[in-house]
Amino acid sequence: MEFISPELLAYCEAHTTEEDTLLKKITRETQAKVLMPRMLSGHLQGKFLELLVKMLNPKVILEIGTYTGYSGICLARGLSKSGKLITLDINDELETMVRGFFEESGLAKQIDYRLGNARDLIPSLDGPFDLVFIDADKFYYAEYFDLVIEKLSPGGIILADNVLWSGKILTQPGQKIDKDTQALLDFNRKIQEDPRVENILLPIRDGLLMARKHHER
């Protein structure tokens, strides 16, 4: 998932505002208790999300894929007092842990944590959203995008995580491609070709695609 040397990564982290006790605790407990801990956003991406929210000052953020709450807390920390984060996840087995982290963060009143299938939940949400962070089932990335783009404010941002997929998106002719890799290849091309947005693919962590919705003219 990392595309730079461990030494360069350590240098970047050493020059990024340090994780506090809660974020370190979430990382530690996720690694100890939860399957696939590599799904955690982590230090660099978490601080990037927090600073981005502080710069954009969104009123409403939608997160698709809560996991253990690390990225949600980072997003919520960037909000103003009147801002709100709606975060969706399908795994109810993590609910007690995640709600505990949200309470510990002191931001639970600004976090609307909902359990269920995002493809069912998103149509029931009114919007508009100023920022959407997609970090869930890769197979449905394109569908998530289609569900949120019309609910996104003009000038709003969609972020999609893991779009480099540990480098597996660099395929060779004749190579057999698994369904998640193909879904991400299709998604990345879809965003590149969508006239409603301007976009950049950042090699942060496992690839972070940022798309900004054009203002209507």
| CATH classification of the domain holding 77 | 3.40.50.150
Q: 82 in a domain, yes or no?
A: yes
Residue 173 is given by DSSP the state T
Domain span at residue 172 reads 6-213
Domain membership of residue 203 (yes or no) is: yes
**Chunked mean pLDDT (size 10), the chain, 217 residues:** 81 95 95 80 93 98 97 97 97 96 97 98 95 96 97 98 92 89 97 98 93 86
Q: Which residue has the tokens 């369904």?
A: 179
Sequence-ordered alpha helix ranges (H) in the chain: 6-14, 21-33, 43-56, 70-77, 95-105, 118-121, 141-148, 179-193
- CA–CA gap between residue 65 and residue 181 (Å, rounded): 18
Total domain count for the chain? 1
- Is 1 domain-assigned? no
Three-state DSSP state, 133: strand
Q: Is 167 buried (19+), middle (13-18) or exposed (0-12) by CB count in 10 A?
A: exposed
Distance CA 137, CA 118 (A): 10
Exposed (0-12), middle (13-18) or buried (19+): which is 217, by Cβ within 10 Å? exposed
Does 180 fall in a domain? Answer: yes
pTM to 2 decimals?
0.95
